[in-house]
Amino acid sequence: MSALIRAEGLTKYYRRPRRHDGAFGGLRTLVTRQYDEVRAVDGVDFTVSAGELVGYLGPNGAGKSTTIKMMTGVLVPTGGLIEVHGTAPWRNREKNAMHIGVVFGQRSQLWWDLPLVDSFTLLGKMYRMPEADYRRRLDEFVDLLDLGPFLDRPVRQLSLGQRMRGDLAAAMIHEPSILYLDEPTLGLDAVARERMRDFIAEMNRESVTTIVLTTHDLVDVEALCERVVFIDQGRILYDGSVAALKAAYAPHRTLVVQLASGLTAGRAAELLGPDVPGEVTAEEGPTLRIRFEAHRISAQEVISAVTSRCPVTDLSIVEPELEDVMRTLYGNCEITV
Ligand SMILES: Nc1ncnc2c1ncn2[C@@H]1O[C@H](COP(=O)(O)OP(=O)(O)OP(=O)(O)O)[C@@H](O)[C@H]1O
């Protein structure tokens, strides 16, 4: 697969006026003109291939939005290289805009006072789309995102979930090859989030759109991303598959045991004794949870040990949550897998 997006040593430093405290602090801030340097993105390397759906993750202030703004051509890098379709996006913003769609969760590109459909019509004309292509695309989105009930309503009257669906359709109307999504599901209810996720997956699968997704919602990541790039303090700490990340940072599994009637989890833990493979982590009524390291003990061994000593009605194995991994990641500085 060829690289659509390439970043090498990509860097963005901001200058922030140094603030002075105390009496006349505001005035001193104005007249002294001293600055602090903020290393928002500090020499990152990555490539994104055609058709990938990559999660770009990290804590608040990690440098995610700044990277996306450089990829979209809104910001000029302080140093290093960023190429999208083989050219620097900030050198040719208009040409770059023809190939990309952007959704910034908190800002809208829709015309506030116009009916939603008028924004689509205007965008279709701006991108010089042939009428038939525009119609086909609009019909597809009305169907996929269920826009019909509010197509004729002014954007300012839409709920957040309706507006976000409109924004997503607006970003994709001209069939861009790359879609950048910055917190697209922020503030949405569960149903709206699900609909957005389905649409994003569909665009990636059916239209083969390359997608870079920034989100704090780990359910989005689990549902959508095979690969994640994790950034903190402007530096990339991890770049790889979600599965490898979990295997490295949360190699445990949990066996959840439903005990046969009359047997409490406390009594079952006694029956299992201290040499049970794994660690009993919770005893709640008739439910017992045993955590084990999947690379050391097989699930079969743990299940055999339990079923040979206790009568059970049900068993299930729970994978670690991505949230567990993130907690470990946030506490580490150097990460290699
Ligand atoms: N225009 C600016 N001027 C000065 N500093 C800035 C500017 N924009 C961002 N920063 C700083 O750069 C750093 C990275 O910010 P950025 O918005 O890229 O982070 P982020 O990972 O997107 O965070 P969040 O998850 O909170 O949106 C932060 O320390 C932020 O305060």
- 143 near 179, Cβ under 8 Å? no
**Is 333 a residue whose pLDDT tops 50?**
no
pLDDT digits (tens, 9 = 90+) for 297-325: 888 889 998 898 888 999 998 887 777 77
Nearest CA to ligand 1 atom 3: 14
Percentage of residues of the chain with pLDDT beyond 70 = 95
Ligand 1: distance of its center to the CA of 97 in Å?
Answer: 23
263-287 average pLDDT score: 84
- 303 near 255, Cβ under 8 Å? yes
Q: What confidence score (pLDDT) does residue 29 get?
A: 67
Q: What confidence score (pLDDT) does residue 335 get?
A: 43
Ligand 1: distance of its center to the CA of 66 in Å?
Answer: 6
pLDDT digits (tens, 9 = 90+) for 239-265: 999 888 877 777 788 999 999 878 888
**Is 279 a residue whose pLDDT tops 90?**
no
Nearest CA to ligand 1 atom 18: 63
Give residue for tokens 């690379």. Answer: 295
Q: Complex ipTM, two decimals?
A: 0.97
286-302 average pLDDT score: 88
The DSSP string of 112-152 is TTSBHHHHHHHHHHHTT--HHHHHHHHHHHHHHHT-GGGTT
**Atom number, ligand 1, closest to the C-alpha of residue 69:** 18
Helix (H) or strand (E) segment spanning residue 103: strand 100-104
**Is 199 a residue whose pLDDT tops 80?**
yes
118-132 average pLDDT score: 95
264-288 average pLDDT score: 84
**Is 170 a residue whose pLDDT tops 90?**
yes
**Cα 139 from Cα 148, distance rounded (Å):** 9
**Is 50 a residue whose pLDDT tops 90?**
yes
- The overall average pLDDT reported for the chain is 88
Q: What confidence score (pLDDT) does residue 322 get?
A: 76
Tokens found for residue 319: 């994978």
Ligand 1: distance of its center to the CA of 329 in Å?
Answer: 20
Q: What confidence score (pLDDT) does residue 293 get?
A: 86
- 124 near 134, Cβ under 8 Å? yes
Exposed, middle or buried, 48 (CB in 10 Å: 0-12/13-18/19+)? buried
Higher-scoring residue by pLDDT: 32, 112: 112
- 252 near 321, Cβ under 8 Å? no
46 DSSP assignment: E
Q: Which residues line ligand 1 (CB under 6 A)?
A: 14, 16, 38, 40, 58, 60-66
- Terminal-to-terminal C-alpha distance of the chain: 23
